[in-house]
């Protein structure tokens, strides 16, 4: 049974852990063993502790290898023997094949130090690249879990009642009858989502192309993916209880049902949210993030789903060519990748935070601002590597309650800022159905409100404004 993640850690715990590893924004998991990239936790009690030279955490004993096309089996075997390794798993998605990649990515298990194995492999002509299987965590910090004031300041504008000029101005868009469309889809790569939540259920995607019959009816490689897929456990159960609170909270900010007289409202009252779970009790790996991205791209290309954006409220790890390439495949498919900037309070221009810091043109990197318009002290920033600010402090949203009940809670972090922007992308697409991903990104950045706290700290120098959407 999975343990519920304890996010009510002390400030001291957060401080100590941030010093220990630049991978974690806030280590809110319990170490239950190594993460098995094929799904679930491996049967071991060893604590994940391996890091690269920058302190980024990765799965011990595992390396992602891209062999050069046409390499002989004899040469492959020799390369594996050189680093005392065996093949563990092969990642070759339908999207990779469609792009002309017949090689894919090979996950190997080595008895050597991962850093030493990578150095040796990258010196060989038969290797395109070798890199760690990085571990990612969600990018939020918790605050008062009993926050029950119903303060949705992130949705307010200077012309709404109640008002807050530093909100996303979503209320003004709603007043102009811009509330989204069920023909627009977004993917949430995160924890799972409580799809039965009373404020989410109407906007959660159910796969009409694959009946629950033990057969892969739509041929996408996933059997009975009725409500998306769980890449952490490698099964179709995309909600596994209260431990999936983070994904549920993110989904509510994007698209909690509005106008239903209960709970909260997302930026988009009408939208379809697809779950691609890859975060679990030990975080999530590069390998599973790649599978999740390609899964969503596959749904768009296979079923012509109008998927306009992926929300990525997580980060950590070093630069990964494999993950960069997956995000670029999303770019080619016309899907935005909205990423949390991170919660170290550091400059991403000099200390990159991935995936937000990748150079793919479809990425929108989001800073956390408070209800007073200040850049949250914990939020990362970057004049060239971050794009805009959005509400991310004391954000009230959907949350799984005990006994399967629908609840609400307040969380803080760039994890909470990013879904405001993802919701904005969906809202714009609903009003402008022919808009491309590039057009939507341009519209979001060109409509920001200049904000003093963001001047010189992001590309736009301003905060999210959806009043014209």
- SS3 assignment for 56-122: CEEEEEEEEEEECCCCCHHHHHHHHHHCCEEEEEEECCHHHHHCCCCCCEEEEEECCCHHHHHHHHH
Cβ–Cβ < 8 Å for 377, 155: no
Q: Which of 142, 397, 415, 467 is catalytic?
A: 415
Q: Where are the alpha helices (DSSP H) in 189-255?
A: 245-255
Cβ–Cβ < 8 Å for 68, 49: no
> Dihedral of the CA atoms 431, 435, 437, 440 (nearest 10)?
-50
Closest to 276 measured CA to CA, from 300, 253, 258, 257:
300
Q: Which of 36, 41, 138, 190 is catalytic?
A: 190
Omega before residue 355 within 30° of 0, cis = yes
Q: Is 41 a catalytic residue?
A: no
Q: Which of 138, 197, 246, 420 is catalytic?
A: 246
Cβ–Cβ < 8 Å for 87, 80: yes
Closest to 387 measured CA to CA, from 454, 323, 318:
454
Taking residue 351's Cβ as centre, other Cβ atoms within 10 Å add up to 15
Taking residue 444's Cβ as centre, other Cβ atoms within 10 Å add up to 25
Q: Is 415 a catalytic residue?
A: yes
Closest to 168 measured CA to CA, from 432, 446, 437, 390:
390
Q: Is 246 a catalytic residue?
A: yes
Pairing relation of β-strands 127-138 and 58-67? antiparallel
Please list the active-site residues.
190, 246, 415
């Amino acid at each position: 049974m999975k343990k519920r993640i304890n996010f009510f850690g002390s400030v001291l715990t957060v401080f100590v852990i941030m010093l220990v590893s630049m991978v974690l924004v806030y280590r809110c998991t319990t170490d239950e063993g190594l993460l098995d990239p094929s799904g679930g936790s491996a049967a071991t009690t060893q604590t994940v502790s391996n890091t690269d030279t920058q302190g980024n955490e990765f799965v011990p004993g595992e390396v992602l290898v891209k062999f050069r096309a046409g390499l002989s089996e004899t040469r492959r075997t020799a390369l594996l023997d050189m680093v005392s390794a065996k093949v563990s798993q092969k990642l070759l998605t339908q999207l990779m094949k469609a792009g002309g990649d017949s090689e894919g990515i090979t996950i190997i298990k080595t008895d050597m130090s991962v850093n030493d194995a990578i150095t040796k492999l990258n010196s060989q002509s038969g290797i395109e690249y070798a890199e760690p299987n990085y571990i990612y965590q969600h990018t939020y910090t918790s605050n008062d879990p009993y926050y029950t004031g119903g303060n949705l300041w992130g949705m307010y504008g200077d012309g709404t009642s109640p008002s807050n000029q530093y909100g996303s101005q979503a209320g003004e868009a709603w007043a102009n009858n811009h509330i989204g469309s069920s023909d627009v889809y977004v993917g949430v790569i995160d924890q799972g989502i409580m799809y039965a939540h009373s404020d989410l259920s109407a906007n959660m995607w159910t796969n009409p192309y694959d009946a629950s019959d033990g057969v892969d009816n739509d041929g996408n490689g996933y059997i009975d993916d009725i409500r998306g897929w769980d890449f952490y456990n490698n099964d179709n159960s995309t909600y596994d209880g209260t431990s999936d609170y983070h994904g549920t909270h993110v989904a509510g900010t994007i698209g909690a049902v509005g106008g239903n007289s209960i709970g909260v409202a997302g930026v988009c009252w009408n939208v379809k949210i697809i779950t691609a779970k890859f975060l679990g009790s030990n975080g999530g790996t590069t390998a599973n993030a790649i599978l999740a991205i390609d899964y969503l791209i596959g749904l768009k290309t296979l079923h012509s789903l109008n998927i306009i954006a992926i929300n990525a409220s997580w980060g950590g790890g070093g630069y990964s060519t494999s993950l960069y390439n997956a995000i670029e495949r999303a770019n080619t498919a016309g899907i935005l990748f909205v990423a949390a900037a991170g919660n170290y309070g550091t400059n991403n221009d000099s200390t990159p935070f991935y995936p937000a810091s990748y150079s793919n043109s479809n990425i929108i990197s989001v800073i956390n601002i408070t209800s007073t318009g200040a850049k949250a002290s914990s939020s990362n920033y970057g004049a060239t590597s971050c794009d805009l600010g959005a509400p991310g402090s004391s954000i009230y949203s959907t949350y799984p309650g005990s006994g399967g009940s629908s609840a609400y809670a307040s969380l803080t972090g760039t994890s909470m800022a990013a879904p405001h922007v993802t919701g904005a992308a969906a809202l714009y697409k609903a009003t402008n159905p022919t808009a491309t991903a590039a057009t939507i990104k341009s519209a979001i950045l060109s409509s920001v409100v200049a904000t003093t706290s963001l001047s010189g700290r992001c590309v736009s120098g301003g905060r999210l404004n959806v009043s014209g959407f």
